[in-house]
């Protein structure tokens, strides 16, 4: 039994996704998703493979395999030591020794759900790591190795059907990854399989190296923690001193010289004030060095981040759009990143494909474009507004432009219109040519015979290219200009207002839900239609989001404006930049720390999403206190805010997440 378990674990295991890049995760997910439509026809072939493996594995073949393998190498070779230790484990298990039984018990085993694409059997990680510590029996003195946890991955193809398996192994630490790769390669020759498999083994180090990069990171983090602590203490002390000054102004003499009296705190306080005391000496204005330290104060920065106050002229709806868009991004990533470790993907994914409601998750890619719209809108609106406010005044244009390009960039109505229109049409032409040349799908979830079209070409040639994604940003600039021209005041006919709202909602729903039949394979769009969708849908989405902000800002938003302008969204909107940066780390950290595959359903998605949303904004709050808020404070000190561009840079300060 144990010999079969060992050989099966060595030979029939597929690649658990260890890639970390966004593209590689999507590619792995697409590969698994592509299996779903072919699952029914492949089940018979998969069953035959496991039957062949079971018939081929016997104790005799396993013993012969190890002895022949050991005979190929000298007694001093590392791989020989590895083979000897593996032999020790199995012979001890056959003798009933508890420690070796625990080693084999920690191995991944064949389990239910293989035909549902449950191709990850990680075994019992904690049991493997605890052998010799809290095990059923101590390791004998003649055994010189300790256990290490490894993952055996095998990737292959059965016709056009990709096969991917992953099994956990509890292996002596005398076995290197190269040793195990060779053993697996030789073991595959024992199996009567008509498919090609590519195996590889990844082992976790028992002790991580504390290298120079780790030391530098710790020093950097420690420096910031110390700086923040000192700054916060100074801030609190200055506030306390200001609230508890010993002197207060009493009166002014005839010659204009102020007299001061001591605050009477107890019976021993002198009744006569000192005429030489100056208020400036009591509460001195902080100098540049003190301002530098105060910029890192948790107390002051925390009050600013959590404040719900809105200044006059604030586009309140922007906060709601930003928070909802960020939530949509996190929801899409919670679902997408989890597909690589879901144990019941063969059951759950076909189920959700049939539900139109899930298109909002499956086609959540446009949520990122909402941030491009907000970025362009705020830059255009605030820049034009500040230029009008300073019309006729002398402006130091060198300083103005330098500060502007330090933080944001853009400039004349006609020139800007010509440039914007040229960029928009150029983007459409370029996107259409790219989509047609590479035969790109309209969605990354489309079931394709050619996976290359979705993978390398879709992501590298289209998805991440700025000239294919500039449309929403240009729409933002357009609506920012309209807000400036109308001064956020536009009385619109109710019928026309409702009509535009209906058009915007309809177009938005078509973009998100319109690919339902294409994704499910019930309708096959022509390549020209796919090209049209890829060319225009992001720009149209940008126009829809731009209209929402414009309508709400000009008093034509109704209850939608009330919702989006809710003060609760104000502090959350300030945190979206770091929320965007930190949420993938938290999602990866949760998913890849799981000891077993994740079996998912609607409730699980809801719970995981809610928890990760909370932790994301908690982490974003801490990081904003430590980095973003202090940097904005230092920028204010450096540039002595007061020029027109300062207010432009200040207003959308958490707006960089659109990048």
> pLDDT tens digits for 597-619?
888 888 999 999 999 999 999 99
User: CA 609, CA 416: separation in Å to the nearest integer?
Assistant: 41
Give residue-wise pLDDT tens across range 175-188. Answer: 899 999 888 888 77
pTM above 0.75, yes or no: yes
Q: DSSP 3-state assignment of 14? A: coil
Task: Give a three-class secondary structure readout of 74-105.
Answer: CCCCHHHHHHHHHHHHHHHHHCCCHHHHHHHH
| Tokens matching residue 70 | 């050991």
CA distances from 558 to 36, 399, 544, 564, 565 (A): 45, 41, 16, 10, 11
pLDDT of res. 32: 54
Query: By C-alpha distance, which of 478, 547, 535 is closest to 511?
Result: 535
pLDDT of res. 34: 53
State the DSSP string of 399-449: HHHHHHHHH-----HHHHHHHHHHHHHHHHHHHHHHHHHTT--SSTTS--S
Give residue-wise pLDDT tens across range 293-350. Answer: 888 889 989 998 998 887 766 788 999 999 999 999 999 999 888 877 888 777 888 8
Q: What is the mean pLDDT of each run of 10 residues along the chain (659 residues)?
A: 37 32 53 52 51 54 69 72 83 79 84 72 87 61 80 74 78 89 82 73 80 87 89 87 58 48 44 43 64 86 87 82 95 86 80 87 89 88 74 58 49 76 94 92 68 67 90 93 89 94 96 88 88 95 96 93 93 93 93 86 92 96 90 78 43 40
| Tokens matching residue 215 | 């030391």
Give counts: helices (H), strands (E), the chain.
Answer: 30, 6
What is the sign of the dihedral through the CA atoms of 169, 172, 177 and 182? negative
User: CA 403, CA 408: separation in Å to the nearest integer?
Assistant: 8
Query: By C-alpha distance, which of 404, 408, 548 is closest to 483?
Result: 548
Query: By C-alpha distance, which of 246, 335, 329 is closest to 583?
Result: 329
Neighbours of 194 (CB within 10 A): 9
Chain length of the chain? 659
Helix H or strand E encompassing 198: strand 196-203
Query: By C-alpha distance, which of 6, 105, 143 is closest to 65?
Result: 6
pLDDT of res. 30: 54
- C-alpha angle 118-588-20 in degrees, rounded to nearest 5: 85
pLDDT of res. 501: 96
Query: By C-alpha distance, which of 411, 480, 407, 403 is closest to 642?
Result: 403
Q: b/e map of 333-372 (b: 16 or more CB within 10 Å)?
A: bbbbbbbbbbbbbbbbbeebbeeeebbebbbbbbbbbbbb
CA distances from 645 to 385, 407, 412, 473 (A): 10, 9, 16, 20
Share of the chain above pLDDT 90, in %: 27
Instruction: State the residue for tokens 């006919």.
Output: 493
Interacting residues of 339 by C-beta distance below 8 A, sequence separation 6+: 29, 32, 33, 345, 349
Query: By C-alpha distance, which of 58, 60, 47 is closest to 8?
Result: 58
Query: By C-alpha distance, which of 336, 335, 330 is closest to 22?
Result: 336
User: CA 67, CA 75: separation in Å to the nearest integer?
Assistant: 13
User: CA 471, CA 473: separation in Å to the nearest integer?
Assistant: 5
| Tokens matching residue 347 | 């059951």
Residues 155 and 28 sit within 8 Å (Cβ to Cβ) = no
User: CA 273, CA 260: separation in Å to the nearest integer?
Assistant: 5
Q: DSSP 3-state assignment of 17? A: coil
């Amino acid at each position: 039994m144990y010999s079969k378990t060992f050989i099966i674990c060595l030979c029939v295991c597929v690649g658990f996704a260890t890639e970390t890049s966004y593209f590689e995760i999507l590619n792995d997910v697409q590969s698994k998703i592509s299996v779903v439509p072919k699952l029914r026809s492949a089940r018979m072939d998969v069953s035959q493979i496991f039957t062949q493996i079971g018939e081929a594995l016997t104790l005799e073949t396993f013993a012969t395999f190890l002895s022949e393998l050991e005979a190929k190498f000298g007694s001093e070779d590392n791989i020989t030591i590895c083979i000897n230790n593996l032999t020790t484990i199995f012979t001890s298990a056959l003798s009933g020794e508890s420690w070796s039984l625990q080693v084999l018990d920690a191995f991944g085993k064949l389990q239910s759900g293989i035909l549902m694409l449950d191709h990850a059997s990680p075994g019992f990680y904690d049991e493997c790591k605890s052998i010799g510590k809290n095990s059923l029996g101590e390791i004998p003195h003649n055994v010189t190795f300790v256990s290490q946890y490894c993952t055996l991955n095998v990737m292959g193809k059965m016709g056009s059907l990709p096969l991917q398996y992953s099994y956990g192994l509890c292996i002596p630490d005398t076995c290197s990854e190269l040793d195990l790769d060779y053993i697996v390669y030789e073991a595959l020759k024992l199996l009567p399989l008509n498919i090609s498999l590519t195996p590889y083994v990844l082992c976790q180090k028992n002790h991580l190296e504390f290298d120079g990069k780790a030391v530098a990171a710790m020093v950097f983090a420690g420096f910031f923690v110390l700086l923040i602590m000192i700054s916060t203490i100074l801030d609190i002390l200055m506030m306390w001193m200001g609230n508890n000054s010993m002197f207060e102004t009493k009166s002014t003499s005839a010659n204009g010289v102020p007299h001061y009296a001591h605050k009477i705190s107890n019976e021993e306080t002198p009744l006569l004030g000192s005429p030489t005391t100056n208020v400036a000496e009591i509460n001195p204005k902080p100098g540049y060095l003190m301002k530098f330290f105060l910029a890192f104060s948790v107390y002051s920065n925390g009050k600013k981040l959590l404040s719900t106050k809105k200044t006059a002229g604030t586009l309140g709806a922007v906060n709601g759009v930003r928070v909802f868009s960020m939530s949509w991004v996190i929801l899409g990533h919670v679902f997408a990143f989890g597909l690589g470790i879901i144990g019941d993907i063969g059951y759950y994914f076909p189920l959700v494909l049939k539900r139109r409601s899930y298109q909002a998750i499956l086609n959540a890619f446009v949520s990122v474009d909402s941030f491009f719209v907000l970025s362009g809108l705020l830059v255009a609106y605030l820049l034009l507004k500040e230029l009008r406010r300073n019309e006729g005044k002398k402006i130091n244009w060198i300083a103005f432009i330098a500060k502007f390009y330090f933080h944001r960039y853009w400039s004349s109505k006609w020139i800007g219109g010509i440039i914007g229109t040229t960029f928009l049409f150029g983007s459409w032409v370029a996107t259409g040519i790219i989509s047609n040349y590479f035969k790109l799908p309209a969605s990354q979830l489309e079931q394709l015979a050619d996976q290359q079209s979705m993978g390398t070409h879709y992501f590298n040639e289209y998805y991440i290219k700025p000239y294919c994604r500039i449309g929403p940003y240009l729409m933002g600039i357009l609506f920012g200009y309209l807000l400036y021209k109308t001064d956020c005041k536009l009385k619109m006919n109710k019928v026309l207002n409702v009509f535009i709202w209906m058009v915007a909602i309809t177009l938005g729903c078509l973009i998100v839900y319109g690919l339902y039949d294409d994704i499910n394979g019930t309708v096959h769009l022509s390549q020209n239609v796919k090209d049209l969708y890829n060319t225009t849908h992001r720009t149209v989405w940008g126009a829809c989001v731009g209209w929402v902000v414009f309508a709400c800002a000009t008093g034509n938003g109704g209850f939608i404006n009330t919702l989006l302008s809710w003060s609760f969204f104000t502090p959350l909107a300030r945190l979206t930049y770091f929320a965007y940066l930190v949420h993938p780390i938290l999602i990866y950290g949760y998913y890849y720390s799981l000891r077993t595959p994740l079996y998912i359903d609607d409730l699980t998605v809801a719970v995981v999403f809610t928890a990760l949303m909370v932790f994301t904004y908690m982490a974003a709050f801490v990081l904003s206190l430590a980095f973003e808020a202090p940097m904005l404070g230092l920028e204010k000190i450096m540039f002595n805010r007061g020029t027109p561009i300062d207010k432009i840079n200040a207003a959308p300060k958490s707006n960089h997440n659109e990048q």
